[in-house]
Every structure is written in C-alpha cells, then in structure tokens.
C-alpha cells in the first residue's frame, strides 16, 4: 500500500503549486493603462466604446445573441427577468444544485424561485421535474450548466415551447461550451455569463446577458442604465424601471484581452479532459458524470465527478480534505439550495420570514438527487489542474488513488480531522 496520507501525517503527492489564475501579462497592463489615459473610465454614457467592442467579441465567440454588459453574472439573470416583465408573484423554476445567485436573481426581481431536483447523471436540472413543477404562475425556467456539464437543452426548450415559458441559461460555468454546435447561452431566450475572478474568462467582475431579440436587449440595456430609454440593435425600449448596473471600461478592456487567450486555453482544457477522464474512470468508487454526445464542446469551469462512497470507502467531504492535503486543489461543491441558510426557518433573511411556506416547505419536496450529490458525492477538481500538463493531471489521479487506498483510515479519522479543522 502507498505511503501514509498527508492528512494523517505523511508526505503529499504534490508540492509544486498549480498555475495561478487569472493568467496575465503586459497586454492586461497596457489595456488598463489605456483606459486610465483615455479618461473614459466608467460605464456612462452606456455602453462605453470598449464595452461595446467586448460585447461584440464575446457574442461572436459564444456564437450569437444580442449582448448587454452588466456588473456581474447575478444581475444578468435579474435583469433578464425584468426585461421580460417577469416579477411579483411569478414562479421561476430553478435547479436545486447551483450557486445561490440562481435563486437570488429571481427573488431580486420579485419572483419566486421554485426549486426542483437535478438529474443524477449530470447534476443539472432534471427536465422531468421541471414538467411536474409547472403551474399557471410559471413564467420562466433558469437552467444552470453546472461545472463541466450542460443541461439537456433539447428537452428544456421543448417544455418551454409547450408551456410558453422563457428560458434563461445560467452559463456562468460555460463560456465557450456548445450543445449540438450551438453556444451555451444562445439556445434559450437569455444567456447569462459571469466574469468574476474565478471564472474561465474573467474581468475581475462583470457579466454579459445574451438576448434572443433586439427588443429584449434594448429593455435589458435600459434596466441596467437607470431606466433610460435605449435603442440597442434597432429596438426602442422606452423608459423602464432601472438602476445602475453598468459595466466599466476597465472590465471590458480586461475582458477583451482575456478573450484573446481564451480559444487556446479552451482547447487545452478540452484535451486535458479526455486524458483525465480515462484515468479517473479506473479509480474504484469514482463515477464519471454523463458524457452526452450533444454536448459538442466541453468548455468548463471546474471538473465535477461523483464518488460512490460505499465503493470508494469514504465520503466527498473527507476525500476533498485529504486531496487538498495531498496538494490537489478541489472542493466538495455548493450545498443543495434547500440547505442554504436563506431558506432555513430561524436563520432566514427573507424580507418577510416564512412568507412563502408553500414554496419552501422542503419536507414535502423530493430533492433527493441534489441532496445526495451535495452531501455525499460531488468532487469539483480545480481548473488549474487542467493547465498543468500531464504531470499535473497524473498527480491529481495519483492522489485520488492514494486516498482511495487509505479510505478506511480516513473515514475512521473523520471526526478528529473535522474537529482539528474547526479548532
Ligand atoms: C452558477 C453561477 N451562477 C451565477 C453566478 C454569479 O456570478 P457573479 O459572481 O458574477 O454574480 C455564479 C458565480 O459567481 C455561478 O457560479
């Protein structure tokens, strides 16, 4: 059996750090300097010239849509709903496995997020559960292309058409990804993108909303520019209820430089993915998520796979802890949406506590797949592993094999390790 786990006092598999993110060079410095010297720093008048250029470049890379720039990838979704006049009392279906932004955005627009379970093969929203959740108040579905997966857009769009619903693709993890050759975020009515620091295309902060029509884009542009009338792409928004969510020229300048590097990085990650998947599939107790042939370009944020705890011999929390100590950056993922404090009686910060008992009565809802993924199974490998050559990936797999070989010891030490961690 291989040497003692680093978590239990042995030496780590890897001591060399993985490459840092974001990648930057003199081009970023020059781009920011240029903005400083131009005197045109902010987003007003909106959009600024660099912002407009970034929008065009991004939409061309992603493959379509009428793009509107914003401050982040949360307000993009709020603005999408507001541009489509979805708000008070309307229901918006969202998946139970996602970052809190996917729920916060409809709530900020005044709508109610209706949380449904995910497909255990992809961890993305389960179209069958979407169907069951539709009522006469349902107005939209927000799907999340989670980790390295895409939601089943064929099924989702068929349901949306049948019930006359809008679809927002939360594509914060899917810059460059394609489904049947079409870019993530260009298939639904809206595609929402984040450029926050950890994202695979970053401007520090920032967001772009790809809209299906000029009318939706003009209204979205108005909402983010304090409600001023906008004439984006030939459509006239008139006045709207808006606030200042404008992207600055600094962000756009950094985004454009990031886009120059993006195609090469994407190619490198996709090739690395094929390599690591083969190696991971040989580790006992590792279950790879579905490789859907319709997911034609796998550009991804983090690589997510599932543990089968009974076979592996330990659960994802302690495995992530042990991998981290072996020098492999990883994460056990988001909590399931129904475990967020926001929805817990007594901890809730909802404006009117327990205002929506019928919606957030989780005891009556079946969210068991999200529960299993979030509480026991999911492991998110950091993106930096995919930029560290074969050695970087070999180290990650070797560490996982080492942890698996010592899984019983690790599981036995779980309570002590947890106590030390919290101490
Ligand atoms: C799935 C998902 N949706 C939305 C967001 C929100 O993006 P932002 O941080 O730019 O608001 C994030 C991450 O930050 C995310 O991971």
Cα angle for residues 217, 202, 151 (degrees, 5° grid): 65
Residue reference for tokens 């026991």: 376
Give me ligand 1 centre to Cα 106, in Å: 14
CA–CA separation, 177 vs 179, rounded Å?
7
Give me ligand 1 centre to Cα 49, in Å: 25
Instruction: Tell me the pLDDT tens digit for each residue of 28-47.
Output: 999 999 999 999 999 999 99
Task: Record the pTM.
Answer: 0.97
Which of 69, 72, 92, 101 has most ligand 1 atoms within 8 Å of its beta carbon, as the pocket-test mutant?
101
The pLDDT score that the predictor gives to residue 11 is 97
Assign 163 to helix, strand or coil: helix
Q: Per-residue DSSP letters for 43-83?
A: S-SSS-HHHHHHHHHHHHHHT--EEEEES-TTHHHHHHHHH
* Confidence label for 415 from pLDDT (cuts 50, 70 and 90): confident
Q: Hey, whose CA ends up nearest to atom 8 of ligand 1? A: 73
User: Do the Cβ atoms of 338 and 367 come closer than 8 Å?
Assistant: yes
Assign 111 to helix, strand or coil: coil
Which of 104, 194, 247 has most ligand 1 atoms within 8 Å of its beta carbon, as the pocket-test mutant?
194
* Lookup: tokens for 91: 């229901």
Rounding to the nearest 10 degrees, give the CA dihedral for residues 48, 77, 258, 231. -30
User: Do the Cβ atoms of 417 and 48 come closer than 8 Å?
Assistant: no
- Domains of the chain, with CATH numbers? 26-259 (3.40.640.10), 262-422 (3.90.1150.10)
Angle between helix axes 75-83 and 214-224 (nearest 10 degrees) is 120
Q: Is 164 left (phi over 0), alpha (psi -120 to 50) or beta?
A: left
User: Do the Cβ atoms of 167 and 140 come closer than 8 Å?
Assistant: yes
CA–CA separation, 73 vs 367, rounded Å?
25
Weakest mean pLDDT among 225-234, 332-341, 357-366: 357-366
Give me ligand 1 centre to Cα 75, in Å: 9
Q: Per-residue DSSP letters for 270-317?
A: HHHHHHHHHHHTTSTTEEPPP--TT--B---SSEEEEE-HHHHSS-HH
- Number of the ligand 1 atom closest to the C-alpha atom of 205: 10
Instruction: Tell me the pLDDT tens digit for each residue of 123-165.
Output: 999 999 999 999 999 999 999 999 999 999 999 999 999 999 9
- Number of the ligand 1 atom closest to the C-alpha atom of 105: 4
Give me ligand 1 centre to Cα 185, in Å: 14
Pocket residues: Cβ below 6 A from ligand 1: 72-74, 98-99, 101-102, 144, 170, 172-173, 194, 196, 207
Assign 397 to helix, strand or coil: helix
Give me ligand 1 centre to Cα 93, in Å: 17
- 17-25's contacts with Cβ under 8 Å and 24+ in sequence apart are 18/329, 18/382, 18/384, 18/385, 18/387, 18/388, 18/392, 19/384, 19/387, 19/388, 20/384, 21/197, 21/198, 21/202, 21/383, 21/384, 22/197, 22/202, 22/258, 23/261, 23/265
CA–CA separation, 19 vs 25, rounded Å?
14
User: Do the Cβ atoms of 78 and 105 come closer than 8 Å?
Assistant: yes
Q: Per-residue DSSP letters for 195-254?
A: -BTTSSS-SBS-EEEEESSHHHHHHHHHHHBTT----GGG---------B-PPPHHHHHH
Give me ligand 1 centre to Cα 407, in Å: 33
- Number of the ligand 1 atom closest to the C-alpha atom of 74: 11
The pLDDT score that the predictor gives to residue 419 is 78
- Number of the ligand 1 atom closest to the C-alpha atom of 144: 1
Which of 196, 197, 202 has most ligand 1 atoms within 8 Å of its beta carbon, as the pocket-test mutant?
196
Distances in whole angstroms, Cα of residue 386 to Cα of each of 248, 307, 346: 31, 20, 42
* Lookup: tokens for 258: 């990031």
Instruction: Tell me the pLDDT tens digit for each residue of 73-105.
Output: 999 999 999 999 999 989 999 999 999 999 999
Instruction: Tell me the pLDDT tens digit for each residue of 202-222.
Output: 999 999 999 999 999 999 999
Closest CA to 376 of 105, 104, 184, 97: 97
Cα angle for residues 257, 262, 263 (degrees, 5° grid): 130
Closest CA to 187 of 155, 163, 162, 217: 155
pLDDT at 355 exceeding the cut of 70: no
CA–CA separation, 414 vs 418, rounded Å?
6
* Confidence label for 354 from pLDDT (cuts 50, 70 and 90): low
* Lookup: tokens for 321: 């802890």
Cα angle for residues 154, 150, 285 (degrees, 5° grid): 125
User: Do the Cβ atoms of 397 and 280 come closer than 8 Å?
Assistant: yes
| pLDDT over 90 percentage in the chain | 91
């Amino acid at each position: 059996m291989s040497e003692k786990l680093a978590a239990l006092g042995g030496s780590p598999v890897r001591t060399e750090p993985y490459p840092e993110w974001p990648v930057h060079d003199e081009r970023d410095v020059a781009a920011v300097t240029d903005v400083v010297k131009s005197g045109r720093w902010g987003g007003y008048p909106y959009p600024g010239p660099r912002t407009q250029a970034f929008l065009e470049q991004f939409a061309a890379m992603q493959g379509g849509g009428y793009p509107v720039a914003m401050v982040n990838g949360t307000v993009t979704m709020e603005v999408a709903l507001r541009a489509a006049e979805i708000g008070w009392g309307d229901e918006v279906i969202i998946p139970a496995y996602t970052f809190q932004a996917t729920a916060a955005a409809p709530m900020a627009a005044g709508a109610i997020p209706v949380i449904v379970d995910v497909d255990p093969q992809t961890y993305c929203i389960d179209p069958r559960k979407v169907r069951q959740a539709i009522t006469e108040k349902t107005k939209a579905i927000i799907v999340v292309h989670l980790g390295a997966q895409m939601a089943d857009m064929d099924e989702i769009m068929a349901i949306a058409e049948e019930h006359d619903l809008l679809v927002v693709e939360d594509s914060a993890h899917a810059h460059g990804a394609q489904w049947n050759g079409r870019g993530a975020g260009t298939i639904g009515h809206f595609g929402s993108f984040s450029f926050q620091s950890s994202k695979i295309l970053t401007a520090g902060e920032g967001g772009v909303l790809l809209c299906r029509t000029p009318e939706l884009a003009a209204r979205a542009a108005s909402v983010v520019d304090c409600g001023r009338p906008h004439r984006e792409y030939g459509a006239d928004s008139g006045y709207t209820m808006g606030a200042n969510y404008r992207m600055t020229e600094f962000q756009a300048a950094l985004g454009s430089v990031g886009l120059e590097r993006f195609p090469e990085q994407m190619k490198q990650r996709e090739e690395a993915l094929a390599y690591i998947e083969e190696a991971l599939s040989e580790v006992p107790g590792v279950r790879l998520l579905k490789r859907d042939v319709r997911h034609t370009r796998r550009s991804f944020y983090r690589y997510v796979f599932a543990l089968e705890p009974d076979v592996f011999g330990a659960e994802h929390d302690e495995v992530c802890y042990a991998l981290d100590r072996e020098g492999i950056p990883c994460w056990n993922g988001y909590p399931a949406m129904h475990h967020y404090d926001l929805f817990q009686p007594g901890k809730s910060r909802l404006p009117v506590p327990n205002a929506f008992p019928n919606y957030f009565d989780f005891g009556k809802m079946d969210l068991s797949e999200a529960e299993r993924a979030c509480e026991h199974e999911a492991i998110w490998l950091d993106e930096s592993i995919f930029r560290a050559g074969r050695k970087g990936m070999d180290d990650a797999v070797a560490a996982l094999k080492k942890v698996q070989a010592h899984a019983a010891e690790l599981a036995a030490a779980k309570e002590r390790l947890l106590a030390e961690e919290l101490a």
